[in-house]
Amino acid sequence: MANTVLILSDEKLTALKSYYKSDVVKRNAPGVVFAAKTANTSITAYRSGKVLFQGGGAEVEAEKWESGSATSTSEGASTKKVVAKGAALPDRLETLSVIGSDETGTGDFFGPVTVCACYVRADQIALVSELGVKDSKLLTDPYMRSIAPDLKSVLTYSVLTLKNEKYNRVQAKGWSQGKIKAMMHNQAIRHVLRKMEEEHPDYILIDQFAERGVYYNHLKNETEIVRENVLFATKAEGLHVAVAAASIIARVAFLEEMDRLSDLAGRTLPKGAGKKVDETAASILISKGEPFLKSLTKWHFANAKKAAGLAAKKRG
């Protein structure tokens, strides 16, 4: 999908709103002050003055407002210093075109593991920041749900959801979580690279969950392994918005699968692996049986035995 970003003065923004007043649509995304949709273009204006034109007619519509506007979208990159461990990183990494990759769900008894790889070009960095992207640990689940559609419409990405039945099968075969994550990251990155066709990222940045050697050892039997310009760093969400965006998209995919599983279970499934999780699992074990509970969970977690113990006490 073609997209163009302009920065408009207050005067031009007022004129734009008047021009598209008959095409107004409602958008609840954070920071949006105006949205319209023509036959072939979506127009979204943000508080900062940035206006995003998307669709087949994006360039034509943007040209109507481009004169005298600033078209660069590379400004505004975060200068906050992030202390991370991992590979030596290139200077000004936060300003480069990067595929970021991150995962979520690995510490939750209920629900899947999800991984997302996401490509952010240098000229998209300011826009992605404008859409509300930052470290997902600083964002609420509802907020991430609200901005994920915008990110998906603008960026090239691949999100993978490993549902519990398959997770339990491969784990029973001896796959560690490290191997599972390495396989999923490699696959998601490959998908994004294919979608990019002739375009190439400056770097690929993976939020580090294993040392480089361990990561590639997990992949040693794969026929297609991405190695070129791959960087590993902890706290990578704070190093480039591509990883932060990937984290948000992965989190929303996790939440959507949790919604589906909650519907099946007839109750809201709690996240994490604490006491509330044990109690909910015990209740499901009593009402629906072990095979059903296993289909919702990462069965090798200690929560499974804890739930069994709680269920036995309740039955006794």
Say how far apart CA 128 and CA 124 lie, in whole Å: 6
Stretch (H or E) spanning 3: strand 3-7
Kindly indicate the confidence band of residue 120, based on its pLDDT and cuts at 50, 70 and 90: very high
Question: Over 80: is that where the pLDDT of 174 sits?
Answer: yes
Tell me the per-residue pLDDT of 125-162, one tens digit each, with 9 for 90 and over: 988 988 888 766 678 899 999 999 999 999 999 999 99
Residue type, 201: P
Residue 224 or residue 91, greater confidence: 224
Domain 93-258, CATH: 3.30.420.10
Q: Say how far apart CA 313 and CA 161 lie, in whole Å.
A: 35
Burial class (CB in 10 A: 0-12, 13-18, 19+), 191: middle
* Sign of the CA dihedral running 77, 143, 149, 116: positive
What are the sequence ranges of the domains in the chain? 3-66, 93-258, 273-315
Residue 69 has pLDDT above 70, yes or no: no
Q: Does domain 3-66 have CATH number 3.30.1310.10?
A: no
pLDDT band of 1, cuts 50, 70, 90: low
Contact 248, 101 (CB under 8 A): no
Q: What is the pLDDT of residues 195-228, one digit of tens each?
A: 998 889 999 999 998 999 999 999 999 999 999 9
CB 173 within 8 Å of CB 60: no
In this structure, of 116-125, 135-144, 166-175, 289-298, the range with the lowest mean pLDDT score is 135-144
Report the chain's mean pLDDT, rounded to a whole number.
88
| Among the ranges given (158-167, 213-222, 253-262, 307-316), the one the predictor scored with the smallest mean pLDDT | 307-316
Q: What is the pLDDT of residue 81?
A: 43
pLDDT at position 77:
33
Rounded distance between C-alpha atoms, residue 158 and residue 152, angstroms = 9
pLDDT of residue 308: 95
Q: Is the pTM of this model over 0.95?
A: no
